[in-house]
Chains A and B, each alone.
Chain A
């Protein structure tokens, strides 16, 4: 028996070294793959909610009516959700890299695979309406969620530049009364407004309004859009 093999076998016996069970390696690898899957799922959810919030801001509808479109466009990007999506993408990359065969793939390949996975799954989650439902759950569960993460609260809280949103308090022939996103009450003249089909104009309904400030608490509405979902592609009707 060689010198090294003798020493090694003696140490194995003396220190009572045993091979680590196969299950331990299987568990470790499964854990990494599960973590990878979860990060892709979370990234997809982040992307789906980002798309939903961006679409719901109706920014693309306002291209022609906004003076500072770039400024509003930046406001419409749900930054926190986009950052979360990117973070999950990075963690998913690391998970993949440390799986047993992850080293075989270059950074570019893993990045493209992960991005495609998040884009496809995120698109499906958005189109199937999961993003809207999840956003509602977050909104109802966390009090500060809307103000901090929903870009609509920034864009549509600017009556001075023509964007107002709120909940309808009452409806009359002369117009409607709303409570805006900051809790202020407004009388809104809707006589010349185009109302999107998805808007019911009923008490308790949350809406977005494009128009002008007439006085301190009076707003002239030019267009009324639904709070949830896209306002575009709806048949327009005059009030």
Chain B
């Protein structure tokens, strides 16, 4: 394995996830490349779905990597390693919410959501609009289940089948959650957009 003086060689940068995972099974030090490859992505993901401090998010992230290391043999090389480790991050985030009994969404909005017409359409410019910081604040008012699929789809830019793998729900359910999430999101934009 090409680990020299704690620096990544060109070869390591080009190693696939699968190759790195194989190396981890032989040498613990190779695990740092998994961590370095995913820490910023997963940290952002955790913060986006939980709206917690960086310190708390880092604590969760540590647990994610510890859990991933413990369960490294359960990873099936037929599927994406990225989705596998995102799945662990999702589980740890949910576990954190349960332990802290945190509810992020604003339940007052639930009545409004129930009156949203289902044919409401907010399509092509959604990806652009969702990235603004104003929109991130509005996103925090959505239910966890909608927020998470929207984050995965529009921030992490995951495909439906990848979201299905991460959240362990069928692709049909992913499509339905994204569609309904976008509708609810639009209502929130109309309600809070100007005040943020």
A residues with a Cβ closer than 8 A to B are: 1-5, 7-9, 11-13, 17-22, 24-25, 100, 103-106
* B28→A104 contact, CB < 8 A: no
- For A100, the closest partner residue in chain B by CB is B76
* B35→A19 contact, CB < 8 A: no
- For A3, the closest partner residue in chain B by CB is B58
Q: A4-B65, A9-B31, A12-B66 are in contact. List 16 more A-B contacts (CB 8 A).
A: A2-B36, A3-B58, A4-B58, A4-B61, A5-B32, A5-B39, A5-B65, A8-B66, A11-B62, A17-B70, A20-B71, A20-B73, A21-B73, A22-B74, A25-B74, A104-B171
Partner of B39, one of A4, A12, A21: A4
B69 at the interface (CB under 8 A from A): yes
Q: Say yes or no: A4-B31 contact (C-beta < 8 A), given A12-B69, A19-B73, A106-B170.
A: no
B-side interface mostly: helix
* A1→B32 contact, CB < 8 A: yes
* B39→A25 contact, CB < 8 A: no
A103 to chain B, nearest CB (A): 4
A52 to chain B, nearest CB (A): 37
B23 at the interface (CB under 8 A from A): no
A-B contact count (CB 8 A): 72
* B164→A7 contact, CB < 8 A: no
- For A7, the closest partner residue in chain B by CB is B62
**A1 CA to B72 CA, complexed, in Å:** 21
A-side interface mostly: helix
B172 at the interface (CB under 8 A from A): yes
**A133 CA to B177 CA, complexed, in Å:** 50
Chain A residues, CB < 8 A from B172: 106
B169 at the interface (CB under 8 A from A): yes
**A103 CA to B169 CA, complexed, in Å:** 5
* B35→A8 contact, CB < 8 A: yes
Q: Say yes or no: A12-B28 contact (C-beta < 8 A), given A19-B69, A104-B170.
A: yes
**A18 CA to B65 CA, complexed, in Å:** 13
